Amino acid sequence: MTPERAPLRVRRETGVGSLAVAALAALVAACAAGPGFHSPAAPTPVDSTRPYTSAPLPSRTDSAPVAGGGAQVFVTGKDIPADWWTMLHSDPLDQLIQSAFDRSPTLEAAKAALREAQAAYSARWGSTLLPGVDAQGAVIRQKASSAAFGIPGGTLFTLYDASVQVSYNLDVFGGTRRGVEGAAAARDVQRYQVEAAYLSLSANLVTTAILEASLRAQVQVTRDLVSADSQSLKITEEQARLGVVDQSTVLAEETELAQAKAALPGVEAALAQTRHLLAVYAGRLPSDTGLPEFSLESFQLPQDLPVSVPSSLVRQRPDILASEAVLHEASAQVGVATANLFPQIQLSGSGGWEGLTLSNLFSAPNEVWSLSAGLLAPIFHGGALRAKRREAVAAFDAARAQYEQVVLYAFLNVANTLRALDADAQTLQAQAAAESLAHQSVDLVAEQYRLGAVSYLSLLDAQRSYQQTRIGLIVARATRYADTAALFTALGGGWWNRPAGESTK
């Protein structure tokens, strides 16, 4: 993860003689000052069979006999499509994401920042690597004194001037090239920020749609619980009136109903707030009623899950690539600061015409031209130039450490998601078993009630337990969908498979 650091440690405090030798060597070689940047190497896991997790993952997850409960297979090296969310096979979700790409202010801001960085790079390239050419024209009306020309009372004359001036900073020590290199790296930072914005927006839309589907199902189950508890309370109250049960039983049923009713507003509010958030992610007002409604049944679980190798991960995740571009920019600034320790050479020239009349201004006798070369060599700046270089080196060291931290957190993100998917499958299997047992219990108690072996209150209790297990199953299903989406985003989201230039339109 660490780029070459040796070039950054040379000549931190250099004497005048050494500077002269280095200047001559650089002049002859015409190379750029400072370290040449190389992309950091990807981390190498101790055990290639478990590049992300401390213990090997199973080749496939457990399956459960419910919708979204199929086994998932981890496929090492499998590529990720640019529109990875289509693997959930939800047409309303696909349409919503495409609409959000067109309307999102966040994406528009990121694209505008990229255009700004591109323009800054072009300006830096054109203004520093190419000569500056300017045309100048002037008309001067002047009165000269008698002392100048020996004419009593002086004389009036008009001077016409038309010329072209050319200037160019000779980039002997590569400071200009390093500056342009830094501007290109700054542009790359913004380019990867755009990709990160696309990835973040699509991930937020997917997970929010899944959360909405989960909450919608939970609202319905909670309403069913309220309905079942209401019926149970009515029966209990009637039994209490007849003296079959005591008042404590009635109070227990009232408590159950109150708890169910208390849970309902919170789940309904969470559903409404999730809808509001989904609208904002899609670039709409929270009051927009044109959003599709999602249910867990509208999604399909991808069976094959990609697992990128570490060397691919560091070239895929936009946050890692943006951090690398920041590191590249910092490296270039070390080169700029190094070049500033050496002499600067400027070439300039001009050519044109000067005359007293406009009619014959462009005649041969009126031609004028000049050529010049200037050398500006730093001698004493109170240690400022060397301090600026040390500052640039320290900024590079900070950028390098930040890059390494970004990589570590990226590997953590992938590792946690892989472990979560394995645990999700086991949880869903257990929740499916619990829901199935609860459903069998309802069927058994219903048959017993039909035969008169148990009371209707017992049947309602069995139905209440069944509804509660349904909530656990809903949450487990939604979590598995969400963590599947999280794996695609943790691995970079497949932006590299998008047609060139599409993300900046």
Output the domain CATH number for residue 71: 1.20.1600.10
107 and 197 together in one domain: yes
Give domain status of residue 166, yes or no: yes
Number of C-beta neighbours around residue 345 at 10 A: 17
Q: What is the DSSP string of 110-128?
A: HHHHHHHHHHHHHHHHHHH
List the domain range (segments joined by +) for residue 352: 131-170+344-377
Cα–Cα distance, 169 to 348 (Å, whole number):
9
C-beta of residue 1 within 8 angstroms of C-beta of residue 324: no
Helix axes 175-241, 105-128, angle to 10 degrees: 170
Cα–Cα distance, 228 to 235 (Å, whole number):
11
Q: Which of 65-69, 194-198, 223-227, 245-249 shows the lowest mean pLDDT across its residues?
A: 245-249
Give domain status of residue 417, yes or no: yes
Q: Which of 29-43, 209-223, 254-268, 366-380 shows the lowest mean pLDDT across its residues?
A: 29-43
What are 423-441's pLDDT values in tens digits? 999 999 999 999 999 999 9
CATH number of the structural domain spanning residue 146 = 2.20.200.10
The amino acid at residue 210 is I
Mean pLDDT of 17-21: 43
Strand runs labelled E in 314-434: 344-355, 367-376
Total structural domains within the chain: 2
Cα–Cα distance, 412 to 397 (Å, whole number):
23
Of residues 172 and 357, more confidently modeled:
172
Percent of the chain with pLDDT over 70: 91
330 and 359 together in one domain: no
pLDDT-derived band of residue 153, with 50, 70 and 90 as boundaries?
A: low
Q: Which of 259, 241, 263 is nearest to 250 (CA)?
A: 241
C-beta of residue 442 within 8 angstroms of C-beta of residue 462: yes
Torsion sign, CA atoms 477, 478, 480, 481? positive
Query: What is the model's pLDDT at position 455?
Result: 78
293 and 348 together in one domain: no
Out of 377, 395, 426, pick the residue that ends a domain.
Answer: 377
Mean pLDDT of 128-133: 88
Cα–Cα distance, 185 to 362 (Å, whole number):
47
C-beta of residue 247 within 8 angstroms of C-beta of residue 219: no
276 and 304 together in one domain: yes
Percent of the chain with pLDDT over 90: 56
Give domain status of residue 9, yes or no: no
300 and 424 together in one domain: yes
pLDDT-derived band of residue 150, with 50, 70 and 90 as boundaries?
A: low
What are 441-494's pLDDT values in tens digits? 989 988 887 787 887 778 888 888 888 899 999 999 999 999 999 999 999 999
Give domain status of residue 250, yes or no: no
Q: What is the pTM of this model?
A: 0.85
Give domain status of residue 54, yes or no: yes
Query: What is the model's pLDDT at position 28?
Result: 38
Mean pLDDT of 14-31: 43
Mean pLDDT of 269-284: 96
User: Which of 13-17, 134-138, 295-299 holds the top average pLDDT?
Assistant: 295-299
Give domain status of residue 49, yes or no: yes
99 and 142 together in one domain: no
